[in-house]
Amino acid sequence: MISLWMWLAFALGALLAGTLASLWSAGRFAKLRRGADSSVIPPGQGGALDDLLTPFEDAHPGSSGVALVDDPVQALAVRRAMAQLASRSLDLLYYIWDDDLSGRILAQDLLEAADRGVRVRMLLDDVHVLNHDPIYRALDRHPRIEIRIFNPIRNRGRGLRRGLEILVSLMPYNRRMHGKLWLVDGRLGMTGGRNIGDAYFDLLPAPDVNYDDLDTLLAGSVLRPAEALFDAFWNSGLALPIRTLWPGKRSRLRRFRGRLSQFLRSAEARSRINRLRLPPAEDAAQVLALNGLRWSPDVIFLGDPPQKALGQAPDGWMPVSLRPLIANAHSSVRILTPYFVPGAQGLQALVTLARSGVRVDVVTNGLALADNVFVYGAYRWYRARLLAAGVHIYEVASDTPPGRMLHSKAILVDGQRGFVGSFNFDLRSAFLNTELGVIVEDPGLIGELATVFDSLTAPNRAYSLALNGRWPAWSRGEAPATMLEPDSTMLKRLVSFLIGHLPIHRFL
């Protein structure tokens, strides 16, 4: 008689064999379906952005211009302006591009740019493209637009085959391209925490929650490594042309244009757009506010290589670059992260800093505001240990203006060096997802980052945590402290408690 253990061993062996077969098959599929290599179009002369940026670049040779963009409506307007002024190329890399109002506004801008002759390369992660393929296939029908999907599932239709493929390739499919990058004409770029979607541009009506986020507008020499990384992803073989994922399937661009135009002309869309007061295309140059760029030779672009999605080349991963920034702190480290799961190494690093006399502040979301209770559950396992070592923790409250969930990712060290990007201080960003960002040292930019931190840690925005005996307590202004996560439900607290004790923190 076959024992239970034998059945379990057989099942695990079958799953392992299926996984290996799936990995081999996926690799062969990628080799057969990958598109032709292409590269960024270098800066030229005669375009609108060439005329605008050349005087700044000539005045700051070898330097980089950076501006912090924290206002959500401005972040949308700047992206629109870059598309409207493009004359040669738009290279876009995004984890999420939603098919909502902001996503459709920017899709229309991309179509208009392509109609002018601009080459558009659009690289999207598969997690949020899956089930929305027809939209992107239609855009891809434009002769000047090519869309590639990063780490895609081969079975695009809904059904058992797709479910089985996701199951047997769960670990490879769990590695995602989480970066955000917008490059135009070799003259301007933008990276940070914002995806393309209404929640990132303050477009969701109450009671839905919008996101508080940060972008950096980039110009000058910092664009060269950003462009090189985009090309590395585009040509990696992990990014497959969407047209090869649906052989024989055709989506009509003309029909898509009609639906897009009809949607944007609808009364509801016009009403929401009018509330934003987005500037017209003729004001695009003013929207960019290039006089606000701060030029410095000390801007460093950071980005995970595409091989991270295969678990390869760890020496080039973001933690290797960010670790010295934090470890060499002398007086203070301030961390802004919506998802905070430091892991054993991160915990030890922060505890060591705090015990050496460095003030360590961590700002994250409170349980009532968090959009991922599992991640919060993992974070709570570290919380008391950090507080006991002297780390200061702040949790953004759910009932404060402007009523947005923290989504910004930033680090400020000694009030002199700062990082802004897509990297969350969690194990997923460290070991699974590919991330992007920039390190800056300009005093003006550092001052702006410090203001962001100060506003988010003020009593009108966040709770301050401290230990009351063995347990954390939340206090805010003159109000009495509470021993429970403020404004949270018992169910959320229970789920977060259970998750915190499971060995799954690395996958959240």
- DSSP characters over 87-121: SSEEEEEES-B-SSHHHHHHHHHHHHHHHTT-EEE
CA distances from 490 to 382, 470, 474, 486, 493 (A): 20, 20, 16, 11, 5
The H-assigned helical ranges of 281-435 are: 284-288, 318-327, 343-355, 373-388, 427-431
Q: Is the dihedral of CA 94, 301, 320, 364 positive or negative?
A: negative
Give the tens place of pLDDT for each residue, 313-326.
899 999 999 999 99
Burial class (CB in 10 A: 0-12, 13-18, 19+), 226: buried
Q: What is the DSSP letter of 384?
A: H
Q: Percent of the chain scored above 70 by pLDDT?
A: 90
Say yes or no to pLDDT of 32 above 90.
no
Question: Do residues 431 and 310 lie in contact, with contact meaning Cβ atoms separated by under 8 Å?
Answer: no
Task: Please name each of the domains of the chain with its CATH number.
Answer: 16-292 (3.30.870.10), 298-507 (3.30.870.10)
The pLDDT-based confidence of 34 (bands split at 50, 70, 90) is confident
**For residue 5, what are its two tokens?**
């253990």
Query: Of 230, 184, 194, which is closest to residue 214 (Cα–Cα)?
Result: 194
Report pLDDT digits (tens) over 41-80: 999 999 999 999 999 999 999 999 999 999 999 999 999 9
| pLDDT number for residue 6 | 57
Task: Tell me the whole-structure pTM to 2 decimals.
Answer: 0.92
pLDDT at site 162: 58
What are the pLDDT digits (tens) for 69-100?
999 999 999 999 999 999 999 999 999 999 99
Residue 435 scores a pLDDT above 50:
yes
The encoded tokens of residue 429 equal 């960003």
For 201-260, the pLDDT digits (tens) are 999 988 899 999 999 999 999 999 999 999 999 999 999 999 998 765 667 999 999 999
Exposed e or buried b per residue across 103-136, where buried means at least 16 C-beta atoms within 10 angstroms of its C-beta: bbbbbbbbbebbeeebbbbbbbbbbbbbeebebb
Better pLDDT: 327 or 128: 327
Give bridge partners of residue 45 from the DSSP assignment.
Answer: none
Confidence at residue 167, expressed as pLDDT on a 0 to 100 scale: 65
Q: How confident is the model at residue 168 (pLDDT cuts 50, 70, 90)?
A: low
Q: What pLDDT shows up at residue 24?
A: 47
State the Cα–Cα distance between residues 148 and 242, nearest whole angstrom.
Answer: 5
Which amino acid type is present at position 228?
Answer: A
What is the bridge-based pairing of β-strands 64-69 and 215-220? Answer: antiparallel
Band of residue 4 on the pLDDT scale cut at 50, 70, 90: low
